Structure 1
Amino acid sequence: MTSPSDLSVRDILERLIAFPTVCRTENAELIDWMEAFLRDLGARCHRVPGREAGRFNLFASIGPDTPDGIVLSAHSDVVPVEGQPWTTDPFALTERDGKLYGRGSSDMKGFVACMLVAARYAASKSELRAPLHLAISHDEEIGCVGVHSMLRDLVVRGFQARGCVIGEPTGLRAVSGHKGKLAARIVCHGLAAHSANPARGCNAIGLATDMVKVIELLQEELKETGAHDDHYEVPFSTMQVGLIRGGVALNIVPDLCEVQFEMRLLPGVDPKPLLDRLRLEADRLCAERPHARIEIETLNTYPGLHTPDGSAFLHEIMRITGDNAPSRIGFGTEGGLFSEYLDIPVVVCGPGSIDRAHKADEFILPEELQAGVRFVEQVVDMLERP
């Protein structure tokens, strides 16, 4: 293996992009490569397996074993490329017209590459007062599911830190908050019948459309009377239906229909009252229709992030970025989980743009990558002082 000291941040990104770590697939080879890179620098590495075979989180530390280090965190997985009109190989870093193309270049292997450069920079310093920690998770893109095992492991080990930077692409703006998410499924059961006499059946699609109307009503209530925070582009919590599946043939009254919806909740907003309202309305609808039954199941949830404006760690990061005030973002991150599990301040800040994420021809600019390196090296410099 080429020595870590010989690889530029672009070289590292090229290696990372070449691992097709699509969410819901194995990431072991990427973790192997990163762990070898970090161990060669003298890092203390701890691998935490996920639920599925071949999927791992990696936690590494450089510097003294003290409780006031800083965590740089990123996810290793990327979203799929199938069906997207890429003009380059998504898993081969390609430079064209001053842009570096590749799946994950902005979201968020660009920051992972910066993290490895930060590790090398930290390892070069003779007297760090506090450690640099690197946290790499799996399967973030399907609802922040992989990081839980790593965070539980850190809790068991009594881990403490001064703060955490989640390197999602924010254009290197310091972000102190984002909404939480809950994804859920409504399964409507009816009674099949011939369409020539639909009254003999119970139409599950009809039940589902009534439940969709309930969600739309709750959305309107959240907009009009729910919590508001004008720091967000959408200053209220939201609910929306994204998937409906039901029916087998036009001449059969459908006996099954599934609706999937999500909530995007301002930090501190409890989803339970909203779910209770949905269940109450489901019971009412079923009471009006013989043979009707509705089940509501939560599929995935992660909390929002709210780092107080007065946080000392937030202001330290803002001094590096030059921000006068922290920003808020609409998309979710693992930040709320780091905050909840470890009770540490979390700032989201990384190079690139979320507007390029999840699309064909995702890219990061070379100058953004270099700015990311300068940012993480300044974070490392924070470890030399109280």
Structure 2
Amino acid sequence: MTNPTVPITELTRDLVALDSRSSVSNLAVADRLEAELRGFEIERLDYQDAAGIAKRVIVAHRGASGGIAFSGHMDTVPDTGWQDDPWSARVDVDGTLHGLGSTDMKGPVAAALVAARGLPATLPVTLLLTTDEETTKQGARIIVQQSELARSVRPNGILVVEPTRMRPVRGHRSHIAFDCVSLGVQAHSSTGQGRNANWALIPFLAEMKTVHQTLLTDRSWHDGAYDPPFSDFNLVIDNHGTAVNVTVPVATARIKFRYSAKIDPAPIRAAVHDAAARHGVTVTEATEGSPPELAPDHRFVAQCAEASAQPATTAPFGTDASILQAIAPCVVMGPGDIAVAHKPGEVVHIDQLAAAVPVFQALAARLSG
């Protein structure tokens, strides 16, 4: 097999050098990836996100139907906290590549593409290249809803190549995002003319703290297959820049509830909405999709464990698998370490990307049988 180090390095550098934060267009990244897919049937699915930004997802296929599909996303998180150039794509002499999205997940996407391109023509292979994974999962939704190519080739399994240090993840949590809004009347706080939206929000939040404590301490809400076993119920409070001498006109509590397939989210959803109704708080919610989870003895899980020589596990974070499972069974497994993602100084090691290529190709051979 040809050494994949050089093409992976070049492609990863090119991808990292292109700004594709979820808040901007990913078209340049999509074009760069498509340039590497000569000989593949290409389906481009264009859309505009909620802010009117042009986005594109790509479905690419070669060979007969079935086989493996590799999936990865083109967008990145914001560059918050970076002190050096987030898009430098600098490579050290030891093969460490620096830059925003290098691990999550432009490096793994490059490894999957190089692996797919190097497969024998007799092996079917599909690429599902999404965007907006870091925000709404809209790219994956577009593929599920609109892709004729994905529907026609019917892959046997989807490998989402998020960075797991090449350990197969057979299941992960998904989330419900609650936006809980209290309204007041803005005025100079000294006049007594205003109404502070926080005062209505506080008793609502007291009930949410009880929900949080229940999830933490009540073992009936725990799932021992996950670490940590309790569901995440994270709160962020936003007064939208109101100064301290102004009565707050709008107070927003954003709560992200992550849960695994074993956990029924209906009682938590009801608790949020019921408390909001009692305290005059308006709630809207967005769902990520159902938590994907395959049994430990599922054939695809076993094939991934064999190819990687690592036992399957679960993860607390979410991926496009929550959406793409509507097409085929999903396992999450890719090079790189999620621990360096979503923070300044993100790096990926080229040797880890290159080492993933033969594993991906061995798995493609298993799924074509």
TM-score by length of 1: 0.86
- The alpha-carbon distance between structure 1 residues 54 and 189, as it changes in their structure 2 partners (threshold 3 A), is closer
Q: For 1:269 and 1:250, locate their aligned partners in 2 and report how far apart those are by CA, in whole Å.
A: 41
CA RMSD of aligned residues (A): 2.4
Q: For 1:47 and 1:274, locate their aligned partners in 2 and report how far apart those are by CA, in whole Å.
A: 39
Identity %: 27
How far the C-alpha of 1:57 sits from its partner, in A, is: 0.5
Aligned to 1:57: 57
Query: Cα deviations across residues 287-319 of structure 1 (Å, max 9, x unaligned)?
Result: xxxxxx320111453332211112101101110
- 8 Å CA contact 1:44–1:62 kept in 2: the answer is yes
| 1:314 equivalent in alignment to 2:301 | yes
- The alpha-carbon distance between structure 1 residues 254 and 10, as it changes in their structure 2 partners (threshold 3 A), is closer
How far the C-alpha of 1:206 sits from its partner, in A, is: 1.5
How far the C-alpha of 1:25 sits from its partner, in A, is: 1.1
Aligned to 1:289: none
| 1:171 equivalent in alignment to 2:155 | no
Q: For 2:41 and 2:257, locate their aligned partners in 1 and report how far apart those are by CA, in whole Å.
A: 39
Q: Residue type of the partner of 1:239? A: F
Q: Which runs of 5+ in 1 are unaligned?
A: 286-292
Q: For 2:354 and 2:244, locate their aligned partners in 1 and report how far apart those are by CA, in whole Å.
A: 58
- The alpha-carbon distance between structure 1 residues 51 and 268, as it changes in their structure 2 partners (threshold 3 A), is farther
| 1:337 equivalent in alignment to 2:323 | yes
How far the C-alpha of 1:148 sits from its partner, in A, is: 0.5
Q: Residue type of the partner of 1:23? A: S
Q: How does 1:1-386 map to 2 (within 5 A)?
A: 8-38=7-37, 40=38, 42-52=39-49, 53-64=53-64, 66=65, 68-86=66-84, 90-122=87-119, 125-128=120-123, 131-154=124-147, 157-158=151-152, 160-191=154-185, 195=189, 202-225=195-218, 226-245=220-239, 248-285=242-279, 293-323=280-310, 325-339=311-325, 341-342=326-327, 344-383=328-367, 386=369
- The alpha-carbon distance between structure 1 residues 306 and 10, as it changes in their structure 2 partners (threshold 3 A), is same
Q: Residue type of the partner of 2:112? A: M
Q: How many residues align?
A: 361
- Which structure's CA Rg is the greater one? 1
- 8 Å CA contact 2:60–2:126 kept in 1: the answer is yes
Q: For 2:240 and 2:80, locate their aligned partners in 1 and report how far apart those are by CA, in whole Å.
A: 25
Q: Which runs of 5+ in 2 are unaligned?
A: none
- 8 Å CA contact 1:118–1:380 kept in 2: the answer is no
How far the C-alpha of 1:361 sits from its partner, in A, is: 1.9
TM-score by length of 2: 0.89
1:19 is paired with a residue whose SS is: coil
Q: Residue type of the partner of 1:109? A: K
